[in-house]
Amino acid sequence: MSEEDEKPELELKHERQIKAAIKKLNDTMIEVRKYIPDAMYYLEDGSNFNILSGPSHTVGGGEQPLHENVILVLDLRHAECGGW
């Protein structure tokens, strides 16, 4: 493998910062779910970081977005979304 093909690595301090931020989000959602039991995160269109009060879409054929469940929308920069 050439130097150009090597996968970049995060500096340890940045890995720790990202892990700490995700842990804080997870801990905060546990607190939120005490009074909004179905609260969840939803990353839409890559940068719209949504806090929802319930599911993002209807269930069954022809799933429809449930925009009424959006509580808060924040800009999460440098993100993409989709399933792998």
pLDDT at 24: 98
The pTM assigned to this predicted structure is: 0.79
The string of DSSP letters for 11-57 reads -HHHHHHHHHHHHHHHHHHHHHTTTSTT-EEEEETTTEEEEESS-SB
Structure tokens at 7: 């996968």
pLDDT at 61: 75
Could you read off the pLDDT tens digit of each residue along the chain, which spans 84 residues? 466 778 899 999 999 999 999 999 999 999 999 999 999 999 987 789 999 999 999 988 778 999 999 999 999 998 887 766
Q: What is the Cα–Cα distance from 20 to 15, expressed in whole angstroms?
A: 9
pLDDT at 2: 60
